[in-house]
Amino acid sequence: MLSNNSIGAIADIARSTGDAERAFSAVGIKLERKPATRHEGALIVPSTPSHVSRTLRGLDLGDPQVVSAVLRATATLAEIYESAPSANRSRLVRLRHCLAADGFPLDPTGDPMAAIRALSAAASDALLDASAIRVELARLERSLDDDPSLAIGKAKNLIEATAKAVLAQKGQLVRTNLNVPALVKGAMEVLGVHPDQVDAVKSPLVRGIMGDLRDIALKIGTLRNKVGDGHGSSSAVTGIEARDSRLAVRAAIAWCAYMLDSLGEPTAQSSADHSKSSG
């Protein structure tokens, strides 16, 4: 699934062995260091690209899960390389072209993989404990390209995990038996972004958007119940394509991202209380 050209392009942007080791370790891959050799009395110490190339060639790059892990590590390495003052843009262009030729565009606009990584970072910034969301994102990433039904199920789980994290951070008791509608309603209300909390006279369009956002989260829960992986079925699920699951994932991420963004903003109730105390 990954060509020799892509392997070479990935290795070419790895400048620090420490950075490469951390990037691969974060996705569960051990960096295999190429041993030093002697030639005509001289000690030849392999470079970081040599270590990365050795590591990649030792992996099963026909396994979608392995490739997904490699791509996550590659995105990290590309970001590190791009931030360096001495970065050569042509190497990044070559990397993107090689990966695109293999069918793996690196962070194109609208790529769910890029959105998954961005949401993981947002959760880490906004929450005291983002572990549950990171677990669901990792599961989502593994299923996205290979199992549309499973991806839809994980998109619903992501909404649940985000709602529970928001409620917990706001000091609310999170009952284990709450379903998606109750969790969505509770999380939006505690953040002051439920459509019923928006002034319909002053902000009719905003209220409409909030209603649409809530409905998106609810419909993903309904979709999961019909075609997701959460329930056994007497016959195989049909009619669900990869583009459908990607749509569900993007929609789930949109709701979750807005919830996390709203954590740092004052709620409608707290703003009203502040106005009263100031008066």
165-185 pLDDT per residue, tens: 999 999 998 887 889 999 999
How far apart CA 89 and CA 28 sit, in angstroms, is: 28
Do both 138 and 201 map to the same domain?
yes
pLDDT of residue 173: 87
Q: Is residue 148 part of a domain?
A: yes
Do both 135 and 91 map to the same domain?
no
* Residue 19 identity (one-letter amino acid): D
Do both 124 and 262 map to the same domain?
yes
How far apart CA 104 and CA 108 sit, in angstroms, is: 9
Q: Is residue 276 part of a domain?
A: no
Rounded mean pLDDT of 150-168?
92
Do both 44 and 152 map to the same domain?
no
Token reading at 246? 């990607």
Q: Is residue 106 part of a domain?
A: no
Token reading at 156? 């619903």
Do both 126 and 56 map to the same domain?
no
* Residue 81 identity (one-letter amino acid): Y
Do both 191 and 170 map to the same domain?
yes
CATH code at position 184: 1.20.120
Q: Is residue 13 part of a domain?
A: yes
What φ, ψ does residue 114 adopt, rounded to 5°?
Answer: -65, -40
DSSP string for residues in 113-172 = HHHHHHHHHHHHHH-S--HHHHHHHHHHHHHTTT-HHHHHHHHHHHHHHHHHHHHHHTT-
Q: Please determine, for residue 278, whether its predicted confidence score (pLDDT) is greater than 70.
A: no
Q: Which residue range is the domain that position 92 belongs to?
A: 4-101
Do both 78 and 180 map to the same domain?
no
Domain boundary (101, 135, 150) is at 101
Per-residue pLDDT reduced to its tens digit, 35-47 = 877 777 777 778 9
pLDDT of residue 57: 94
Domain boundary (49, 74, 101) is at 101
Q: Is residue 146 part of a domain?
A: yes
What φ, ψ does residue 188 adopt, rounded to 5°?
Answer: -70, -35
Instruction: Report residue 265's pLDDT band, with 50, 70 and 90 as the boundaries.
Output: low
Domain boundary (101, 132, 156) is at 101
Instruction: Report residue 224's pLDDT band, with 50, 70 and 90 as the boundaries.
Output: confident
Domain count, the chain: 2
Do both 93 and 154 map to the same domain?
no
Q: Is residue 172 part of a domain?
A: yes
Rounded mean pLDDT of 234-253?
72
Rounded mean pLDDT of 92-117?
74
Q: Is residue 157 part of a domain?
A: yes
